[in-house]
Amino acid sequence: MNLKDRLRLIKTTGGRSEAKTPESGSKALPASSPSSSSPPLTKDEPPAFSGWHLEGDFVQSRTVILDAVTLENTAGSLGMIPIEAVKTANFAFSIEGLSALLPDIGRFLDAGNTLKTSGLTFFDLETTGLSGGAGTVAFLAAFGEITRETPPGNRAVLTVTQYLLLDYPGEPLFLQKCREHLSGLVVTYNGKSFDSQIIKNRCVMNALSPPFYHHADLVHPARYLWKRKLPSCRQRDIEKRVLGLDRGDDLPGSAAPDAWFHFLKSGETERLLKICAHNAADIAGLAAIWDVFVALATTPLSARRYDADLEHLALRYHNFVKRRRREDRPASLSVEETAVELLEQAAAHGGEIARLLWKRKYGSQLF
């Protein structure tokens, strides 16, 4: 079957396939038998996937709500990842501490912006390849926002919205939906060099204006704090070794391209739905890692709780205070005192760079 015939078949059937029960535990899919004589999918017909809504002929969406208190999943199969990041809708931000730990936050604030929980968007893509070249297409996007339930619960929740591209003709609509979420401050894990570039490249290739937003990428700060502690600083490893989160039999992101191409070829959805669960779990894990940085910014001396590199944490604060003095806008007294205390502790625990800095600055014994 040539490409033209295949596209006609998918359009007339909506890409639906026979019902299967995914291993991830999601509900069985509605049964259907793709046929070239099937009537076109309309807005009044049920979507191809249970729990998903039709946005266009080739784009579907769903919303997953992760509860902040009970950690129950109310719209999917993501109950395997508890998250601490949404305990409250009003984080006790230490603005200077976050600026010290996350340079992207410092640049965001220096541009005259205000940091608030409601302005955060956690963002992650699944694509047809890892090269990031012009031929790489994003087929699944997830956006997480911390919102508050209406009374009587009035609890903070992590709302994850996903968009799924069913075939290439739907890419312009898929990108338009993504652009609606990409504004303000966007938080990613390795998204600055990959996810954002993919979205911008695909927008240009589809004659769409690329979205503009401020970016806070956690991958490099995470490597700075844990590269000497962990064999790998992949997001999943940070989740497991630092936060104690276990995704179980979660299908890895590296399987995403094959899962999508298999769906295009066969119409089978089981593996694709598992990638969708993985994508939403990435957002939950990303929010949890963000919470670690908030905790370290608020109470830096809790570094041992998260097995963070005490010396590198101290150097972050030391360099931040030094830079602010050089720019003639000194850090607050509490941050300067914290920087000194962290440097002293790091030196006392064998940090060679911390010892040299302490001796150069204070010229005295630690004890």
- Establish if 219 belongs to a structural domain: yes
Q: Residue 362: CB partners within 8 Å, gap ≥ 6?
A: none
Which of 300, 333, 351 corresponds to the end of one domain?
300
**In this structure, are residues 14 and 48 in contact, taking their beta carbons and an 8 Å threshold?**
yes
Residue 113's closest CA among 97, 95, 86? 95
In the prediction, which pLDDT does 8 show? 54
Residues 251 and 326 in one domain: no
Q: Which amino acid is at 94?
A: S
Residues 357 and 210 in one domain: no
Residues 259 and 350 in one domain: no
190, HSE (Cβ side, Cα atoms, 13 Å): 11
- Establish if 367 belongs to a structural domain: no
In sign, the C-alpha dihedral spanning 81, 86, 91, 96 is: positive
CA 33 to CA 35: how far, in whole Å? Answer: 6
Residues 202 and 261 in one domain: yes
Which of 300, 320, 340 corresponds to the end of one domain?
300
Q: Cis peptide leading into 152, omega within 30 of 0? A: yes
Residues 205 and 314 in one domain: no
**In this structure, are residues 175 and 206 in contact, taking their beta carbons and an 8 Å threshold?**
yes
Residues 256 and 350 in one domain: no
In the prediction, which pLDDT does 85 show? 39
Give me the phi and psi of 49, to 5 degrees please: -115, 140
Q: How far is CA 15 from CA 19, 94, 256, 260, in A?
A: 12, 48, 18, 12
Which of 256, 281, 300 corresponds to the end of one domain?
300
Residue with tokens 């005490």: 310
Tell me how crowded residue 31 is: count the other CB atoms within 10 A of its CB.
10
CA 263 to CA 271: how far, in whole Å? Answer: 8
- Establish if 119 belongs to a structural domain: yes
- Establish if 152 belongs to a structural domain: yes
Total number of domains constituting the chain: 2
Tell me how crowded residue 298 is: count the other CB atoms within 10 A of its CB.
14
In the prediction, which pLDDT does 228 show? 95
In sign, the C-alpha dihedral spanning 276, 255, 252, 231 is: negative
Residues 151 and 253 in one domain: yes
In the prediction, which pLDDT does 151 show? 59
Tell me how crowded residue 212 is: count the other CB atoms within 10 A of its CB.
9
Residue 30's closest CA among 54, 9, 59, 6? 54
CA 162 to CA 145: how far, in whole Å? Answer: 12
Q: Find the domain containing 339 and state its range.
A: 309-362
Residue 115 corresponds to which tokens in the numbers above? 């940091």
- Establish if 159 belongs to a structural domain: yes
Q: How far is CA 202 from CA 54, 135, 171, 174, 360, in A?
A: 22, 9, 9, 10, 51
In the prediction, which pLDDT does 5 show? 57
pLDDT by 10s per residue, the chain, length 367: 554 555 455 455 444 433 333 333 333 323 333 333 333 444 444 345 788 999 988 999 999 887 643 333 333 333 333 333 333 333 445 889 999 999 999 999 999 998 887 789 999 999 998 776 668 999 999 999 987 666 556 666 789 999 999 999 999 999 999 999 999 999 999 999 999 999 999 999 999 999 999 999 999 999 999 999 999 999 999 988 888 887 777 888 889 999 999 999 999 999 999 999 999 999 989 988 998 898 899 888 888 888 999 999 999 999 999 999 999 999 989 899 999 999 999 999 889 999 999 888 887 665 5
In the prediction, which pLDDT does 361 show? 83
Region for residue 120 given its phi and psi (left: phi exceeds 0; alpha: psi -120 to 50; beta: otherwise): beta
The pTM assigned to this predicted structure is 0.80
> For the chain, how many residues are written?
367
Strand order in the sheet with 214-217: 53-56, 59-67, 156-165, 138-148, 120-127, 185-188, 214-217
Residue 245's closest CA among 274, 288, 212, 196? 288
Residue with tokens 């998918």: 10
